[in-house]
Amino acid sequence: MTNSPELLPKTFPQRPPLRRVLFVAFDEVGLLDLTGAQTVFWAATKAMEARGLPGYERCTASLHGGLVRSAEGLELQTTAMADLGLEPVDTLVVPGSPHIASVLDQSAPLVDWLRQASAAARRTVSVCSGAFLLAAAGLLDGKRTATHWAMCDMLQQRYLALQIDRDAIFVQEGAVWTSAGVTAGIDLALALVKADCGHAVAMEVARELVVFLKRPGGQSQFSVLLESQTQGADSFDALHLWLGDNLARADLTVESLAEQARMSPRNFARVYKQKTGRTPAKAVEVLRLEAARRLLEESAHNVDQIASRCGFGDEERMRVSFQRHLGVAPRDYRRRFAGDT
């Protein structure tokens, strides 16, 4: 005897649970480190719910709960880590702080908690100098790691087992993700949303936040002149200003730069690398790249003219440099970033 279809028990597919994202807070936490990634997961949840699908449960926790004061002075309400309950954590997000050295001096209980919590989470991610907390917990040993460009040396000196990627916006090493400075946390969170929810949802979130789903290039897109100043290379300020006015010259060799700096070529090359972290040839290329970017963004000159004005010689050489440093061709860069010219 067969059962009537009407008498069979009805079963329905179980709705997947919300993915729990736990954001770690502590005194002097960087506000945008924390809230940039939070906003991405909030927007992704809206997009998923509009499709009738679960998004993310978001929780901000600190060791003792209550109000936590950010580095910028804003106070955040947090849940005590001891009160989080038994729900599994999908993603553990560890932001950084502009005062990470002082945070580390008082972080032993937090580091111990991170070590245990990471083992139970599906993935652990850091934003900016949050990589220092992951490294202190031993979670980055032997792994390629990203952090804010200005903190790469400090991170490497403190944790020798790390492999620092100084240009990456974010890095994935298995279940551990690290990102570069501040807004790079948004890039990382978008990559996580794309992995979880697909390209369409990630694109929808990127459009809502008015950001690129994947920005071109790496964090080396900051000014080489400003970087040199932060590294105490003011002795080459005059040379850099002269270079800015003479990028079209074809004879910007070590010898000609050394003559301008009134130094011997050998001594100039050694001291310049020591002071700026770049060889003279690399500095010339990056200065030319910066000048070309500004002209592509702000001028009506065609690409060949810009290549000539900036000392690349022709468009192909400029294209190779753009691809190597920014991951995008000059014409594509102009389409993305040019204003009305």
DSSP string spanning 112-148?
A: HHHHHHHHHSSEEEE-TTHHHHHHHTTSSTT-EE---
Residues 74-86 have a mean pLDDT of 93
- Residue 298: which residues within 8 A CB-CB, separation 6 or more? 338, 339, 341
Share of the chain above pLDDT 90, in %: 67
Query: Is the domain of 257 the same as that of 164?
Result: no
User: What are the CA-CA distances from residue 260 to residues 87, 102, 242, 247, 270 (Å)?
Assistant: 65, 42, 9, 14, 15
The reported pLDDT for the residue numbered 217 is 56
Query: pLDDT tens digit string along 148-174?
Result: 988 999 999 999 999 998 878 899 999
* DSSP tag of 194: H
Q: What number of helices (H) and strands (E) belong to the chain?
A: 15, 10
pLDDT of residue 87: 84
Which of 151, 183, 209 terminates a domain? The answer is: 209
**Co-location of 58 and 185 in the same domain:** yes
**CATH number for the domain including 306?**
1.10.10.60
What's the mean per-residue pLDDT of the chain? 88
| Residue 9 in domain | no
Query: Identity (one letter) of the amino acid at 207?
Result: R
Residue 2 covered by a domain: no
What is the per-residue pLDDT for 221? 47
251-287 per-position pLDDT tens digit = 999 999 999 999 999 999 999 988 887 899 998 998 8
CA–CA separation, 283 and 321 (whole Å) = 12
Pair (194, 237) in one structural domain: no
- Residues with Cβ within 8 Å of residue 25, at least 6 apart in sequence: 34, 60, 61, 62, 68, 76, 78, 95
> With bands split at pLDDT 50, 70 and 90, how would you rate the model's confidence at 339?
low
217 belongs to a structural domain: no
163 plus 29 within the same structural domain: yes
Residue 7 lies in a domain: no
240 Cβ contact partners less than 8 Å away, ≥ 6 residues apart: 225, 228, 287
168 and 242 co-located in one domain: no
The alpha carbon of 136 is separated from its chain's Cα centroid by a whole number of angstroms, namely 20
In whole angstroms, give the CA distance from residue 310 to residue 287: 9
Per-residue pLDDT, 203: 87
The pLDDT of 313-336, averaged and rounded, is 89
- The model's confidence at residue 207, banded by pLDDT at 50, 70 and 90, is confident
- For strands 170-173 and 91-94, give the pairing: unpaired
Tokens of 324: 């190597």
Q: Are strands 176-179 and 170-173 parallel, antiparallel or unpaired?
A: antiparallel
Least confident of 132-136, 164-168, 184-188, 265-269: 164-168
Instruction: Give the per-residue pLDDT at 216.
Output: 58
CATH of residue 119's domain is: 3.40.50.880
Q: What is the pTM of this model?
A: 0.67
Least confident range from 208-217, 244-253, 281-290: namely 208-217
pLDDT confidence tier of residue 7, bands split at 50, 70 and 90:
very low
Identity of residue 40: V
pLDDT tens digits along 220-243: 544 454 455 445 445 787 888 898
- Separation of alpha carbons 301 and 131, rounded Å: 42
Among 76-80, 247-251, 290-294, 302-306, the minimum mean pLDDT is found in 290-294
Same domain, 160 and 35: yes
Task: With respect to residue 77, please indicate whether it lies within any of the assigned structural domains.
Answer: yes
Q: Which of 209, 232, 261 is the last residue of a domain?
A: 209
Does residue 250 share a domain with residue 185? no
Dihedral angle, C-alpha 291, 294, 298, 301, nearest 10 °: 40
Task: Tell me whether residue 14 is in a domain.
Answer: no
The rounded percent of the chain whose pLDDT value lies above 70 is 87
Which residue has better confidence, 186 or 229? 186
Average pLDDT over residues 108-128: 97
Number of folded domains that form the chain:
2
Q: Is 128 part of the annotated catalytic residue set?
A: yes
Whether residues 200 and 242 fall in one domain? no
Average pLDDT over residues 302-328: 92
Residue 20 identity: R
Smallest Cα–Cα separation from 44: which of 256, 278, 208, 183?
A: 208
Q: What residue numbers bound the domain in which 293 lies?
A: 224-337
* Residues 149, 282 share a domain: no
Question: Does a structural domain hold residue 246?
Answer: yes
Same domain, 235 and 119: no
| 230 and 321 belong to one structural domain | yes
Amino acid 227: pLDDT: 54
Give the start-end residues of each E strand in 161-294.
163-164, 170-173, 176-179
Question: Among 128, 152, 197, 310, which one carries the catalytic annotation?
Answer: 128
Going from the C-alpha of 189 to that of each of 177, 194, 245, the distances in angstroms are: 10, 9, 40
Residue at a domain's end among 209, 237, 255: 209
User: Domain for residue 8, yes or no?
Assistant: no
**149: DSSP letter:** G
What does the pLDDT average to over 303-309? 95
Is the domain of 279 the same as that of 230?
Answer: yes
